[in-house]
A and B are shown apart, each in its own frame.
Chain A
Amino acid sequence: NAGVTQTPKFQVLKTGQSMTLQCAQDMNHEYMSWYRQDPGMGLRLIHYSVGAGITDQGEVPNGYNVSRSTTEDFPLRLLSAAPSQTSVYFCASRLSRGLTYNEQFFGPGTRLTVL
């Protein structure tokens, strides 16, 4: 299987433009999440989903929307891009939301620049 895939790998936007970062996994994982990585700040959780139709906010949700209509896909939408959203975005997934540990797998990332 392909694991966690993200498209595009690179994107340049102008302030105010909208776009959707795609994330898909083929491992039948319940739990999916989006992080942004900024220099000196590590990875911060934007939104997460514990299953199809269920999403919740993470640490830095403002300016981003998500939905989870299928188990496989978890797109991240920027409705009106701002320069502060310039970052590297990582999608991740793991098997279930339960207390039993299961490893979280990360996608290769999308590098977004907002001018």
Chain B
Amino acid sequence: AQSVTQLDSQVPVFEEAPVELRCNYSSSVSVYLFWYVQYPNQGLQLLLKYLSGSTLVKGINGFEAEFNKSQTSFHLRKPSVHISDTAEYFCAVSEANTGFQKLVFGTGTRLLVSP
């Protein structure tokens, strides 16, 4: 069964600094990978997704992520963060053997951007 690990529960960073949020997954079959963002008291919004093809995917708000099959990772990066990026970020995976029907989420990483 698939699982997702987000090792960092909280990442503090200064405004305009780069950031990387780590995500590792466990699966033995083909996967789709996702990053979602949740702003305070809101629902989840899709940041970016990897389905197939290029391993470097770009999303909204200047975020990008790289799929590394050998390391089973899908880390999220942004070269320069803004205060408005303060939010919780969730990595998620769905597997081919469930027909990609079920999304399994990681425990989330809270990004705290300070001036």
Q: A residues within 8 Å of B by Cβ?
A: 4, 31, 35, 40-45, 48, 50, 58, 90, 92, 97-99, 101, 103-104, 106-109
B54 contacts partner chain A, Cβ-Cβ < 8 Å:
no
Q: Is the CB of B103 within 8 A of A104?
A: yes
Which residue, of B4, B43, B104, has the highest number of chain A Cβ atoms within 10 A? Answer: B43
Q: Which single residue of chain B is at the shortest CB-CB distance from A43?
A: B105
Contacts of B49 in A (CB 8 A): 101, 103
Q: Is the CB of B102 within 8 A of A48?
A: yes
Contacts of B46 in A (CB 8 A): 103-104
Q: Is the CB of A109 within 8 A of B43?
A: yes
B-side interface mostly = loop
Q: Which of A42, A97, A98, A108 contacts B108 (CB 8 A)?
A: A42
Q: Is the CB of B43 within 8 A of A107?
A: yes
Contacts of B73 in A (CB 8 A): none
Q: Which single residue of chain B is at the shortest CB-CB distance from A6?
A: B43
- What's the least CB distance linking A84 to chain B, in Å? 18
Q: Is the CB of B44 within 8 A of A97?
A: no
Known: A40-B107, A41-B107, A101-B51. A106 touches B43 (CB 8 A): yes
Q: Is the CB of B107 within 8 A of A108?
A: no
B100 contacts partner chain A, Cβ-Cβ < 8 Å:
yes
* Extra pairs beyond A90-B44, A108-B42 (8, CB < 8 Å): A43-B103, A90-B43, A98-B99, A101-B32, A101-B51, A101-B100, A103-B46, A106-B45
Q: Which single residue of chain B is at the shortest CB-CB distance from A90?
A: B43
Contacts of A4 in B (CB 8 A): 43
Q: Is the CB of B90 within 8 A of A43?
A: yes
Contacts of A50 in B (CB 8 A): 101
Q: Is the CB of A106 within 8 A of B103?
A: no
Contacts of B42 in A (CB 8 A): 108-109
Cα A43 to Cα B91 with chains together (Å):
10
19 of the cross-chain contacts (CB-CB < 8 Å) are A31-B101, A40-B9, A40-B107, A42-B6, A42-B90, A42-B105, A42-B106, A43-B103, A43-B105, A44-B105, A48-B102, A92-B44, A97-B99, A98-B99, A99-B96, A101-B51, A104-B46, A104-B103, A106-B45
